[in-house]
Amino acid sequence: MKNLVKINSERCKSCGLCVHICPKKILSIGEVVNSKGFYTVEMKDQTQCIACAFCALICPDLVLEVYREEKGE
């Protein structure tokens, strides 16, 4: 499996912390609104993700899960 960030949009509160901390600048607040009325975070280019997990660590609402590519796959 390649590096992958799973986004649980229903939990996102549009705070933007992950957008600011991502070193690759591949997260953004999109135009999709969840059931609570928040614009949710989107991944712009999954192939650029280095699986550093900064986004998952800083998110206060446990929206993001980061999976790192295993060597040899």
* H-only helix segments in the chain: 17-21, 54-58
Number of neighbours of residue 40 by Cβ within 10 angstroms: 20
Maximal C-alpha separation, the chain: 42
Count the residues of the shown chain that bind ligand SF4, applying the rule CB under 6 A: 27
Cα distance between residue 64 and residue 41, in whole Å: 10
CB of 8 to ligand SF4, least distance (A): 8
Q: Which of residues 34-73 bind ligand SF4 (CB under 6 A)?
A: 41, 49-55, 58-59, 61, 63-64, 66
User: What does residue 62 show for φ and ψ, rounded to 5 degrees?
Assistant: 55, 45
Annotate each residue in 21-40 with x if it binds ligand SF4 (CB under 6 A) or - if it does not, as one string: -xxx-xx-------------
Binding site residues, ligand SF4, CB under 6 A: 5, 12-18, 22-24, 26-27, 41, 49-55, 58-59, 61, 63-64, 66
